[in-house]
Structure 1
Amino acid sequence: MSSFNHTKYRPFTPVALENRTWPDQEITTAPLWASVDLRDGNQALVEPMTVEQKKEFFKLLVDVGFKEIEVGFPAASQLDFDFVRWLVEEDQVPDDVYIQVLTQARPELIERTYESLKGAKKAVVHVYNSTSTTQREQVFRLDKEGIKQIAVKGAQCVKDHAEKNPGTEWVFQYSPESFTGTETDYAVEVCDAVIDVWQPTPERKCIINLPATVEVTTPNRFADQIEYFCRHVKNRESIIVSLHTHNDRGCGVAAAELGLMAGADRIEGTLLGNGERTGNMDVVTIAMNMYSQGVDPKLSLGDMDRIVSVVQSCTQLPVHPRHPYAGELVFTAFSGSHQDAIKKCLANQTDDKAWDVAYLPIDPMDVGRSYQEVIRVNSQSGKGGVAFALEQEYGLALPRWLQVELSPIVQRFSEEDGGVVKSADMKRLFEESFMTASAPYALGNYELSKKDHDSVTAELTHKDGSISIEGEGNGALSAFTTALSNHFGIRVDIVQYQEHALTNGSDSQAIAYIQANIDGDRFNGVAIDNDIVSASIQAVLATVNQKVASTNEQANVA
């Protein structure tokens, strides 16, 4: 077995921050959003997107509501260069959207970047160089001053090219790549030097993007780094502090949330979290987290199925069924107790109430999912899940006592079948078990009359012919049970009764549910008819048919 040696790793050295304020902050407004799906996300794909896929993805990003979209690294890829030219020349960018492009802080790459943007209305030029201790010492072999000069010269080059192209509304963005692996005070020093070159103002801000290129510590330590940076950076009122977190430790969203609490203004990420290694920060998750707290995320995520479909189609990556908010099963409950709680809470939920449903942090319908997807029935499910599925799919509002009887029937079927029980199968099991009013006896013609008592005369048909029964009682059901009791020599007492219309409207059919005690045994009968009295009489007959069948079966066994 291979060695597993934790001593080869060094713990993260936290930034010294006294009187931190971020733990007491709340996220009450959405940040500025920037999508990096077409650049950072695209470079992480085994097969990068084709031009057509990029076009489809760009349209999705615009429709979702991104106002800043990083569309490529045009100086490093001819495909990216051509795509940027297509966006500009074919006027594909809405007037309120900035296209963003990435470039290293190298003069020849910056020049090529501006060539790709010639004629653009609005653009963010994103320049970067790595500042981390590891890369300074082992990759570039430069001291702190040498790394800072790369940033300063790159910033000046970006500014010079913008002045040569005054027809575009330029925004400058700088990233000290691997910010989390950089001494925080040194990161401030480098960014201050870039800010000195660009001379931003409150009316014309620049963006300082702080990438957790590799996530190296817990989200609270990252928040300390961000708060320290925001306290110490020059001209804070003239810069937009942006975050670009990755998910190496599985905390990309949490780090971004705490970073916002620590003072950041802007978030870069990808839809559903695609990105190098374990992925970029997931914009869908963080935006929907805000939404679930009553904060408008300023993104349109109501058609989640379309988002998932486009992302999967363009990236060739599956979306996990348990992915927050977007996964196929994320709102689905199989557990019986969970299903029962969800069903009861949904019954209490009204439009004038704040959303308050057990196990569902948001209303699934807000992201285009139906309640039919919420509860799926398998061998772990209970009566609540079965009842919910039948009501949502077929309008069958089963009384609780009938839910108790149906649930083990469905559970046995699931155990034998070994999977999720479809609604059609549940309905079939329900009908076979309780809608038994046609065999061995079926109701033919019947007549009700009322004098001193209610009386009924009814014809029952069976395979050998027909019989006539009659009885009296206080009401139609009482008279019919008396008639059945007299003919079959049994005692029929109605224990439970419930009925409702299956649909709205005057032409709706009625359904009756009856539980009867017949000679000490309980049977459940259900019937549907255009007339509620006929439905109720047939439901009683269904219980008697079950009693007759049970008696015959016992006689055959004996």
Structure 2
Amino acid sequence: MEDRVLIFDTTLRDGEQSPGASLNVYEKLEIAKQLEKLNVDIIEAGFPVSSPAQFEAVKRISGEVGVVIAALARAKEIDIKTAYEAIKDASKKRIHTFSSTSDYHILGKFADERYGKNLSEKRKTILKMSYDMVQYAKTFCDDVEFSAEDAGRTDISYLAEVIEVAIEAGATTVNIPDTTGYTMPSEFGNKIAELRKRVKNIDKAIISVHCHNDLGMAVANSLAGIENGARQVECTINGIGERAGNASLEEIVMALNVRKDLYKYYTNINTKEIYNTSRMVSAFTGIIVQPNKAIVGENAFAHESGIHQDGMLKNRETYEIMVPETVGVPKTKIVLGRHSGRHGLKARLEELGYHVTEDELQKVYEAFIKLADKKKEVFDDDLRMLMGDEVFKKQEHYEIQYMHVNAGTNSIPTATVLIKNHEKEYSDSATGDGPVDALFNAIDRALGFSHTVESYQVRSVTSGREAMGEVLVRIRYKEHSFTGRGISTDIIEASAKAYLNAINQLEIFKAENENLAEEKSVSKVI
């Protein structure tokens, strides 16, 4: 273990907290299976106490995926017990509990005088709470991780006290998160080194780091943590997560892989599955990977400059420090056509990391044939979009049955829609500033309410005139955002699917949070 770094993937927990990201149980399970194929060491499957859907997803993953499954829990008995109930079927399980430790968090979250009248008293309360809850978690599970929330801004002396107490109570992993992405690499590395000096029982636990990217330092801070003794890194696929995101799994892994001359550490990650995993997460979450993203961006291995192209032709190593095949980037993306059969489709889906039953295969095959009739050639990214589209969406409240849009340079755009909700149908027409605005207005009128549209994005999934178009629509409800995605060779149809998908995400959220007041009318902005 001295040279091995454990990869703790939190895509399904912290990653899903990305603004607008929302995954259903099926999608989480598919990603978890792909993460197992990627060979991560620990999967943080979710925060079970937060909602019934979170609990169900963690429970399903625990029963079907063989790596260590972790569930997040606040330092509260109800959270810890619920976390255990969700992961109890896992062959290898971990309870991950946390307490706030920085003065900012203590004075904010624990302002009530029942936690103490001053900072000193409140700190003592946190110490006792941390000890008691780690000890309580140990009654359910031998593998317990403790996190000191906002450790990056926590006084080192107090942080050392908390970590020592957590290990004394039985924590086998202690996590030092840079929760707000505040620290610099040298500063964060020194903090890990200081903890190794100050915490007398530190040798009884693995040190973990969990870095956020608010200042763009998440990966650099994670590597600094490893250099100074951390042997577990918490990260996400594509670096998704709260605010500016988390440390990117693929960047950390490949930094250690490529710079073996500098870093004498290794992971057990199957790097050839990085690209497939990245694309699956992007397809399911609707979060687009920026073209210039390191390792997995479309331009990561592209060379346009004449000087660069000439150098590449003479010697590949002139401008490439790793070959695309190392991370699983395929040489060709064209795979299937209209004459391809079910077996060929299933085989290719499995190569891309998807697992389908015969019933599910039939559904995706029907969608595939419709697409192949329009496109002739179907690319890997088309298949990924199909797998993330409505074919496997569960609990849909509203579904588009019919739409007609009329627009031209000298006419007012109009749209008519027919929407189905179980056995009930809704229809209406509306005008708008453009065809998409008219379409959204028609949907709003048919359903009898509207929502604030925070963003509307369109992109081409593949190249050519027959390319699949993907639309992402983010709507807002109170302090929550919901992202819907739709795909089609018709961008107007994709827009309707995306808007309804976002509304469906909201309806699922409302059903799971009945205490929230119903809000039927909110201003709409495009």
Tell me if 1:366 matches 2:336: no
Give the corresponding residue for 1:190: 162
Tell me if 1:174 matches 2:143: no
Letter in 1 for 2:100: S
Give the corresponding residue for 2:5: 31
Give the corresponding residue for 2:38: 64
With over 3 angstroms needed to count, the CA separation of the structure-2 counterparts of 1:209 and 1:35, relative to structure 1, is same
Q: CA deviation at 1:311?
A: 1.1
With over 3 angstroms needed to count, the CA separation of the structure-2 counterparts of 1:250 and 1:121, relative to structure 1, is same
Letter in 1 for 2:161: E
How far apart in 1 are the matches of 2:5 and 2:229? 10
Tell me if structure 2 keeps the 8 A contact 1:127–1:155: no
Tell me if structure 2 keeps the 8 A contact 1:110–1:158: no
Letter in 2 for 1:367: V
In the TM superposition, 1:262-273 aligns within 5 A as: 262-273=228-239
Q: CA deviation at 1:296?
A: 4.5
Tell me if 1:328 matches 2:328: no
With over 3 angstroms needed to count, the CA separation of the structure-2 counterparts of 1:151 and 1:48, relative to structure 1, is farther
Give the corresponding residue for 2:211: 245
Letter in 1 for 2:294: P
Give the corresponding residue for 1:219: 185
Give the corresponding residue for 1:156: 132
How far apart in 1 are the matches of 2:196 and 2:329? 40
Letter in 2 for 1:228: E
Give the corresponding residue for 2:81: 111
How far apart in 1 are the matches of 2:58 and 2:331? 42
Letter in 2 for 1:182: T
Letter in 2 for 1:230: R
With over 3 angstroms needed to count, the CA separation of the structure-2 counterparts of 1:37 and 1:372, relative to structure 1, is closer
Q: CA deviation at 1:298?
A: 1.5
Give the corresponding residue for 2:250: 284
How far apart in 2 are the matches of 1:249 and 1:157? 32
Q: CA deviation at 1:365?
A: 2.3
Letter in 2 for 1:127: T
| Structure 1 residue ranges, 4+ long, deviating more than 4 angstroms after superposition | 370-373
Match of 2:60 among 86, 92, 97: 86
Q: TM-score, normalised by structure 2?
A: 0.58
Deviations 1:504-528 (A, max 9, x none): xxxxxxxxxxxxxxxxxxxxxxxxx
Tell me if 1:236 matches 2:190: no
Tell me if structure 2 keeps the 8 A contact 1:257–1:286: yes
In the TM superposition, 1:35-54 aligns within 5 A as: 35-54=9-28
With over 3 angstroms needed to count, the CA separation of the structure-2 counterparts of 1:56 and 1:361, relative to structure 1, is same
Tell me if structure 1 keeps the 8 A contact 2:178–2:212: yes
Tell me if structure 1 keeps the 8 A contact 2:69–2:93: yes
How far apart in 2 are the matches of 1:40 and 1:145? 31
How far apart in 1 are the matches of 2:87 and 2:2? 35
- Which runs of no fewer than 5 residues in structure 2 stay unpaired? 334-526
With over 3 angstroms needed to count, the CA separation of the structure-2 counterparts of 1:28 and 1:161, relative to structure 1, is closer
Tell me if 1:101 matches 2:77: no
How far apart in 2 are the matches of 1:181 and 1:76? 26
Q: CA deviation at 1:277?
A: 0.7
Tell me if structure 1 keeps the 8 A contact 2:69–2:87: no
How far apart in 2 are the matches of 1:182 and 1:282? 24
Q: CA deviation at 1:363?
A: 1.5
In the TM superposition, 1:391-540 aligns within 5 A as: none
Deviations 1:512-545 (A, max 9, x none): xxxxxxxxxxxxxxxxxxxxxxxxxxxxxxxxxx
Letter in 2 for 1:363: V
Deviations 1:483-516 (A, max 9, x none): xxxxxxxxxxxxxxxxxxxxxxxxxxxxxxxxxx
Percent of residue pairs identical: 29
Q: CA deviation at 1:92?
A: 0.6
- Which runs of no fewer than 5 residues in structure 1 stay unpaired? 1-26, 201-205, 347-356, 374-558
Q: CA deviation at 1:28?
A: 9.4
Letter in 2 for 1:226: I
Q: CA deviation at 1:145?
A: 4.2
Letter in 1 for 2:203: E
Please give the root-mean-square deviation of Cα atoms over the aligned residues, in Å.
2.2
With over 3 angstroms needed to count, the CA separation of the structure-2 counterparts of 1:176 and 1:28, relative to structure 1, is closer
How far apart in 1 are the matches of 2:153 and 2:36? 33
SS in 1 for 2:122: helix
Q: CA deviation at 1:324?
A: 0.7
How far apart in 2 are the matches of 1:239 and 1:303? 30
Q: TM-score, normalised by structure 1?
A: 0.55
With over 3 angstroms needed to count, the CA separation of the structure-2 counterparts of 1:161 and 1:338, relative to structure 1, is closer
SS in 2 for 1:39: coil
Q: CA deviation at 1:252?
A: 0.6
Give the corresponding residue for 2:471: none
Q: CA deviation at 1:129?
A: 1.2
How far apart in 1 are the matches of 2:304 and 2:89? 55
Tell me if structure 2 keeps the 8 A contact 1:195–1:234: no
SS in 1 for 2:88: coil
Deviations 1:28-54 (A, max 9, x none): 944111000111111224142011110
Tell me if structure 1 keeps the 8 A contact 2:167–2:202: no
Letter in 2 for 1:61: L
- Bigger relative CO (Cα 8 Å, ≥ 6 apart): 2
Tell me if structure 1 keeps the 8 A contact 2:137–2:144: no
Q: CA deviation at 1:161?
A: 5.1
Match of 2:122 among 137, 146, 153: 146
